[in-house]
Amino acid sequence: MTNPRQLAFIALRDVHKGAYADVALDRVLQKVNLPDCDRRLVTELVYGSVRRQRTLDTLIDQFAKKKSHQQPPDLRTILHLGFYQLRYQERIPASAAVNTTVQLAKENGFAGLAGFVNGLLRQYLRKAGEQGGRGAGEAGGENTVSSLHTDPLQLPENPVERLGILHSFPNWIVQVWLEQLGFAETEQLCEWMNQSPTIDLRINPLRTSIEEVETALQSAGVLVRRIPHLPQALRFIGNTGSIQKLPGFKEGWWTVQDASAQLVSHLLDPQPGEVVIDACAAPGGKTTHIAELMADKGKIWACDRTASRLRKLQENSQRLNLQSIQIYTGDSRHFKQFQNTADRVLLDAPCSGLGTMHRHADARWRQTPESVRELSVLQRELLTHTSTFVKPGGVLVYATCTLHPAENEQVVSAFLADSPQWQIESPVGVELPDSTDITPQGWFKLWPHRQDMDGFFIVRLRKNNNSE
């Protein structure tokens, strides 16, 4: 079976039963041998339908007599696929989107409702008035509603619900952003988060140079560009094919790591010969970067409680030919043996990942205000305990890939209120991306729509020399 839409339907059915989108997609793609263009279509349909779930449900609510949650689950999934193609896939002709969705209904137990599916999608097209486009399409960019005669999607006046429905986010996430950014920038951030993610790589200066990697990739027909302020970073432009098959991967010349994550290790600024503890290390992108910045001289303790993810770290450090990393399995909140031993500690804390939702299509539906509260408790415990690992005069960097103050500013503020021997230290000697938001307090946030990279919060803390 090689019908891309049927494969997308099977994967989405699994997602709606609780599977992670990337796992469900891998499962269906591994069973078939598809040409690249069909693989891309399946991927686009699965991730797009998951990402745009709220918008697609609202369209079902508007056009069908029964609300989306009252539809049979498989029929709801089929309608998602139809509406997704009509609304967001400019390259797919409207007739093909409708006909293939009707066919899906017939082949998956809804032959009796084929007319209903056909009528619903055609009603949407009539409302859109084909002459003006088909809805808030994405011809290379995000919503182009203003350029259309009519958008069939009806939106409420309330700004939280309006942005939530149009860009498909839960209200609570929109609210968190609105409070920090205001309406216009929140909309830009929503649009950014709905783009397909870029892939960045970090060259390994112990094995190669950025020029050498550029030349090798260019000769393989792969386009890259440099990222300002990050001396080891390149960003892929366009399709790359299989990452593992690209020149230099097996040789350990480079590893995949987003630009924001690269900035974290530069801010830690580890030096050759030091003892560094990475308290939540797996899968090891930052750990291996720390080793590269230390010229692989010194000792790095890579701690994590998930053994399977630490194996990934081990594989990566072997491929990059790094010797200074020691792996330690367990929960960093319970380690006693590291007290006052480290020159520097990185706490890249487990978080809700609200800064990387473009990479994880279903993350926006999995996190809740309650899960954020639970994470903030864990983050405080980790920060309080791992700070004891640092020698007097040493440095701790606290970082998350979320944009929620409860996991960032509030965690650090609570820690500083209880720990007078610690101070925030402004990033010195590190070039920050343009328009980086450094607050008066000295912590800073990378906002994706401003810096065009994953959302991150980073703060550098120093322990007083006379601390015991």
Active-site hit among 280, 303, 351, 401: 401
In one-letter notation, the amino acid at residue 453 is M
Do 143 and 166 meet the contact criterion of CB atoms below 8 Å apart?
yes
Do 59 and 153 meet the contact criterion of CB atoms below 8 Å apart?
yes
Residues 6+ apart with CB under 8 A from 30: none
- 3-state secondary structure (DSSP) of residue 110: coil
Q: Which letter does DSSP use for residue 423 in this model?
A: E
- Cα separation of 413 and 86, whole Å? 47
Q: Which two tokens stand for residue 19?
A: 């599977």
Do 332 and 317 meet the contact criterion of CB atoms below 8 Å apart?
no
Helix axes 171-181, 183-193, angle to 10 degrees: 130
Q: How many other C-beta atoms are found inside a 10 Å radius of the C-beta of residue 454?
A: 22
- C-alpha Rg value of the chain to the nearest Å: 24
Do 18 and 55 meet the contact criterion of CB atoms below 8 Å apart?
no
Residues 6+ apart with CB under 8 A from 288: 255, 313, 316, 317, 320, 322, 325
Helices (H), 247-294: 259-268, 285-293
Q: Which two tokens stand for residue 176?
A: 């968190």
Cα distance from N-terminal residue to C-terminal residue, the chain: 66
- Cα separation of 169 and 174, whole Å? 7
401 is catalytic: yes
Active site residues: 401
